[in-house]
Copies of this chain bind each other. A is one copy, B any other.
Amino acid sequence: MRMHRLVLIGVGLIGGSLALDLKRAGLVGKVAGIDIDADNLTRALERRVIDYAYTQIDVQSVADADMVLIATPVNTLPLICRQLAPYLPERCIVTDVGSTKQLALQAFASELPNHYLRCVASHPIAGSDRHGALAAQFGLFAQKKCIICAHEHQDETALQSVVTMWQAVQAQIYYLDAVRHDAIFAAVSHLPHMLAYAYVHQLAEAANADELLQFAGSGFRDFTRIAASHPHIWTDICLANRKVLADLLQQQQQELVYLQQCLEQGDAQKLTAFFVKAQKIREDWQN
């Protein structure tokens, strides 16, 4: 698989890092970046993440694309697909990297019906609290998982091209259906982001927030790292996956009710059993 022209919509951590690796591997000729942030595009050009910069989706920016990779916040996907529709070259593959995959497939199906066979939903697990073109880095995807949520009308060649691309940057490919994908990542990614925001928000509401933060240490640092993640990106992800997430938040409240009762009853045995169960799972986890 070698592409002459990759069009990257959203030149940030994920899209930019992929472009860097593909260029170094010689798997893409030129990368055109489309982004609403002109400063970000300038930085991407300077760092040679992209070769051409555009601020709009139009006949010029999308021309001659072998693949369009959409790496913008997930709720922009329907609009971006709608804007792409008139300009997409006939054989062009479209893929995305978003954290919620039912929404991606819905956007592809409804906004790009003529290209739907060649629309491939993917999700590399390489997010970070860093964002923008300056965050782009070589080797970001090496030994990271990349989930592909193939749909039932998938063109086999298009699917294989996307798989080959991710394998070329050393990602490990997993296949999941979109519903299952969204349920899994609600639990292991979207929920902890909400919980980290919720905890820091609670501190922020305290009258002595500044004093509290002054004494926060390394446990706080790690526990809250993901609360530094981009608020708009995460609003979109959480809303796109809101049904499953609301249930998980409800369950988490029950966990906290239980812990509160353990404290109020001074029940060391129950508290230890609860902590042991969690600690064992976490200690056995290798990733």
Contact = CB atoms under 8 A, between A and B. Distances in A.
Interface residues of A toward B: which range?
35 or more
Interface string A178-202: 0000001101110111111111111
A238 B282 CA distance: 19
Contacts of A184: 208, 211-212, 215
Contact of A204 (B206, B216, B221, B277): B277
Contacts of A278: 196-201, 204, 227
B235 A264 contact: no
Interface in A260-287: 260, 263-264, 266, 268, 271-272, 274-279, 281-283, 285, 287
A58 to B, nearest CB: 27
A170 B260 CA distance: 37
B279 A263 contact: no
A245 interface: yes
A248 interface: yes
Interface string A209-242: 1011101111111111111111110111011001
B145 A202 contact: no
A28 B232 CA distance: 55
A132 interface: no
Interface SS of chain A: helix, strand, loop or mixed?
A: helix
A252 interface: yes
A28 to B, nearest CB: 26
A61 B189 CA distance: 50
A71 to B, nearest CB: 17
A47 to B, nearest CB: 23
Contact of A199 (B216, B252, B266): B252
A228 B287 contact: no
20 contacts: A125-B215, A126-B217, A127-B218, A184-B215, A187-B206, A188-B213, A188-B216, A192-B219, A192-B220, A197-B278, A199-B255, A204-B277, A204-B278, A213-B281, A222-B222, A225-B282, A227-B279, A242-B263, A249-B260, A256-B256
